[in-house]
A and B are shown apart, each in its own frame.
Chain A
Amino acid sequence: MTKPAILVEGLKKSYGNLEALKGVDFEVPEGTIFGLLGPNGAGKTTVVRILSTIIKPTAGRAMVLGYDVEKHPAEVRLRIGLAGQSAAVDPNLTGRENLKLIGTLAQLSRSAIAPRADELLERFQLVEAANRPIRTYSGGMRRRLDVAAALVGKPPVIFLDEPTTGLDIQSRTELWRVIEELVAEGSTVLLTTQYLEEADVLADRIAVVHGGVVVANDTASALKARLGSTVIELTLKNDVEAKRAQALLSRLVSDHPEHEGDKVRLSTAQAPKVLTQVLRSLDANGMSALGITVRDPSLDDVFLALTGKHAEEKKDENEAEGKLARGRKAKRTPAIEEAAKAVDGWIGGIEQGVEPEVPEVAAFDERWHAVEDEEEWETLTEPPDGLGESAAGRLQDVLAQLPYKAGSGRLEVHLKEVAEAALTYYRDASSNQPLDVRPVAGYLGLEQRFGRISGDTSADQAASLLMGAAVAKAVGLGSPNGPQTAKPQSSPRAQFGSSSTELDKQYECGQSRTDAGGAAGQGRKRP
């Protein structure tokens, strides 16, 4: 029966409240290279530190060649070598001295130490530098010595913790060659890396670690097949065109293209063919790419593809946006649901006297267009009358940071900032001032929408109104194709149609909870 060289089951590690590992499982057959792939802070090094008996797990089990790292650490230590991030060499000793020191501490017999050191120096091309202190070594030489140090005791299991991070390509390739040789000799290697390419080149199997859990565990080729092997990234004139291109290109590839700013990203297994189609299709629709990047998938792409749930949600949002942008019917998308729910909770909190926080809603990260021209911008930057001091200051701060570009004819407002301003206003109002929400509503170009707000509207109602407005803007009114005016002639009221009056009545009655949720969801009722 062949036992796995490394077996990890339900491994957990917490530092205080921080859960570095939330239950990691994997096993590594003897004589293979296993890659732990993940960004900084994913928990890769924690796994290595537990397996090399440096720290103890909080829960779960880790075995090396059949020995439990907690119960038989001495047996484990005799069988492992550690190199990389979490193990160092002495910079003041020469390369040879370091290897001999570790040879002694790895319990090699006296006569075996010097020959082993020489053998490794030769193999890692460090013979010339052997008698120089490590501090005079280049980064690549130092890493090679580091890996050599892990091998001194001829351990059957080797941990390489980000062995090539920070190395230039040549040093990296050299190190890869050595690692491949190790396995050819029958060693088992656990390699952690941030580089997909590295895991791809070296590892027989890859576990992708993210946030202390394994999100995928597969062969390199299977992972890449799941990714689509090549990423094509197009830069367009602006984000409006990028959105158009995204919609256009979604017909060409099976995986929905991602859109981010003025960039559209798609992944495909048939890059040459798809690229030609993409360019033709853009051309035929009167668009052209300002820049094209064709590359292998990065770690980012892997996470985008593997933490698929998140990517799916994003897709829905983009679809909804695209439809709104083209003036089609708004439908109740998951993004709208999310926003409506968040605002509901927010208002519920206010009603119960909880200190409210601006909810984390994806829609709030969208921008909408608030003013048409510079003149309007100038009237906007005047603080409105009747606004409490801190609220006025906060709103001014928000506006001062808005990315208004003179001459571009529009102002983009970040909805999250609007929500925050609303919140500040709410706090200010509820603490000392009798509330008049109108200045703020006018200030934000929402006067028409909330024309019926009176001077004695309560603080929580006002806050909910502003939040509702923000959500309404996010899901229904933010029209990326045409700038939205500050005092819209085609008012939001018109967009909300007949239901608007009803809504306003509800606001008057102070049924704020239903209001904001309703405001977000109103679009659904449109014919």
Chain B
Amino acid sequence: MLAARPAKAGSALRDMLAVTGRNLTSIRRVPQLLVFTLIQPVIFVVLFRYVMGGAIEVPGGSYVNYLIPGIFIQTVTFGALQTAIGMAADLKSGLLERFRSLPMSRAAVLAGRTTADLVRNIVVVALIAGVGFLVGFRVQTSAWEFIGGLAICILFSYVLSWVFATVGLLVGDPESAQAAAFPVMAPFVFASSAFVAVESMPDWLQGFARNQPVSVAASAVRALSIGQLPGGESTSSYVIRALLWCAGILVVMMPLAIARYRKTV
């Protein structure tokens, strides 16, 4: 008699895709959000490339080549905030409660959110690459290595979206999510190798700045884009460390996010 059929394992994928589609439609319907996500890195590019770039010395000589890989990572890191905001907004509006009352896969909401953000990040990274080339960034390695670098950047963004989905569920409303996330992000983004060489920082900061995930990811993308810098670590060392960070964060945050989701709604 029931119009609906019981949820099967196969339908989990269908649920996830439906939620992903819904999130992507939302992003498309509010293009302002995407525009602002993009304006910010452009400002950073202009600021560092033209305003401050002249005063910043980096190994390898060309600051624009040093900068753009850092901008990739900076953009996806700040962009991860959108995941927190989206999650918090769905929680606050009551949409998550409706989902909870439906016979759908429990994992679909988080998986759909992070997958939609993955798609969004691919678009964002492609656009930033375009901006980079426009201001004089040139790949010094092979096309394959550069694409590998972008892949690491996108993987990193996916990992972060699980972190910030948890933040969004914890905080519970979009404004607070925004306010809560920035102070956490800022030290990771700025005390990193994204914009300046770690060697230029005071000794006490270098240990953190060299090894924290944003730095490692930025260095890995940079190494894959412009090759090993004079006096720097090897490309493979950065890449392996970046992948380890991604795996480590994912292993911790995925269960945390799921546990939080089960508890929150």
A complexed with B = yes
Distance A269 CA – B256 CA, assembled complex (angstroms): 60
Distance A22 CA – B1 CA, assembled complex (angstroms): 36
Of the listed stretches A77-85, A373-381, A385-393, A488-496, chain B binds: A77-85
Who on chain B is nearest to A52 by CB?
B101
B95-110 CB mask vs A (1 if < 8 Å, else 0) is 1011111111000100
Distance A93 CA – B28 CA, assembled complex (angstroms): 10
Of the listed stretches B14-22, B54-62, B63-71, B77-85, chain A binds: B14-22
Cβ of B234 under 8 Å from chain A: no
* Partner of B14 from A74, A77, A104, A156 at Cβ < 8 Å: A104
The answer to whether A82 and B2 touch across the interface, beta carbons within 8 angstroms, is no
Contacts of A149 in B (CB 8 A): 98
B1-43 CB mask vs A (1 if < 8 Å, else 0) is 1111111000100110011011001100110000000000000
The answer to whether B29 and A54 touch across the interface, beta carbons within 8 angstroms, is no
The answer to whether B2 and A78 touch across the interface, beta carbons within 8 angstroms, is yes
* Partner of B3 from A86, A93, A154 at Cβ < 8 Å: A154
Contacts of A156 in B (CB 8 A): 1-2
Of the listed stretches A106-114, A166-174, A254-262, A444-452, chain B binds: A106-114
Contacts of A196 in B (CB 8 A): none
The answer to whether A54 and B100 touch across the interface, beta carbons within 8 angstroms, is yes
B25 to chain A, nearest CB (A): 6
4 shortest interchain CB distances as A-B pairs: A88-B94, A154-B3, A87-B98, A77-B103
Cβ of A133 under 8 Å from chain B: yes
Distance A403 CA – B3 CA, assembled complex (angstroms): 66
The answer to whether B3 and A88 touch across the interface, beta carbons within 8 angstroms, is no
Cβ of A53 under 8 Å from chain B: yes
Distance A74 CA – B7 CA, assembled complex (angstroms): 8
Please tell me the number of chain A residues within 8 Å of chain B, measured between CB atoms: 35
Who on chain B is nearest to A153 by CB?
B4
Given contacts A80-B101, A87-B94, A89-B98, contact A106 B4 (CB under 8 A): yes
The answer to whether A104 and B15 touch across the interface, beta carbons within 8 angstroms, is yes
With contacts defined as CB atoms under 8 Å apart, how many contacts are there between chain A and chain B in the complex? 98
The answer to whether B3 and A153 touch across the interface, beta carbons within 8 angstroms, is yes
A95-106 CB mask vs B (1 if < 8 Å, else 0) is 001000110111
Cβ of B265 under 8 Å from chain A: yes
Cβ of A218 under 8 Å from chain B: no
A333-371 CB mask vs B (1 if < 8 Å, else 0) is 000000000000000000000000000000000000000
* Partner of B102 from A49, A77, A133 at Cβ < 8 Å: A77
Distance A71 CA – B169 CA, assembled complex (angstroms): 25
Contacts of A153 in B (CB 8 A): 3-4, 102-103
Cβ of B93 under 8 Å from chain A: yes
Contacts of B1 in A (CB 8 A): 156
The answer to whether A107 and B11 touch across the interface, beta carbons within 8 angstroms, is yes
The answer to whether B98 and A82 touch across the interface, beta carbons within 8 angstroms, is yes
Q: Is the interface of A mostly helix, strand, loop or mixed?
A: loop
* Partner of A108 from B4, B22, B30, B98 at Cβ < 8 Å: B4
A28-59 CB mask vs B (1 if < 8 Å, else 0) is 00000000000000000000010011100000
Distance A89 CA – B94 CA, assembled complex (angstroms): 8
Distance A156 CA – B1 CA, assembled complex (angstroms): 9
Distance A101 CA – B6 CA, assembled complex (angstroms): 17
Contacts of B103 in A (CB 8 A): 74, 77-78, 105-107, 153
Who on chain B is nearest to A110 by CB?
B14
12 A-B residue pairs with Cβ-Cβ distance under 8 Å, sorted by A, are A52-B101, A54-B100, A54-B101, A78-B103, A92-B26, A93-B22, A105-B15, A105-B18, A105-B19, A109-B5, A112-B3, A156-B2
A45 to chain B, nearest CB (A): 10
The answer to whether A90 and B97 touch across the interface, beta carbons within 8 angstroms, is no
The answer to whether B97 and A54 touch across the interface, beta carbons within 8 angstroms, is yes
Distance A145 CA – B102 CA, assembled complex (angstroms): 17
* Partner of A92 from B5, B14, B25 at Cβ < 8 Å: B25
B91 to chain A, nearest CB (A): 10
Contacts of B98 in A (CB 8 A): 82, 87-89, 102, 149
Distance A282 CA – B245 CA, assembled complex (angstroms): 85
Distance A91 CA – B26 CA, assembled complex (angstroms): 9
The answer to whether A105 and B3 touch across the interface, beta carbons within 8 angstroms, is no
The answer to whether B99 and A105 touch across the interface, beta carbons within 8 angstroms, is yes
The answer to whether A86 and B94 touch across the interface, beta carbons within 8 angstroms, is yes
* Partner of A49 from B11, B19, B97 at Cβ < 8 Å: B97
B244 to chain A, nearest CB (A): 36
Contacts of B25 in A (CB 8 A): 92-93, 97
B41 to chain A, nearest CB (A): 24
Distance A393 CA – B198 CA, assembled complex (angstroms): 64
Contacts of B15 in A (CB 8 A): 104-105
The answer to whether A53 and B26 touch across the interface, beta carbons within 8 angstroms, is no
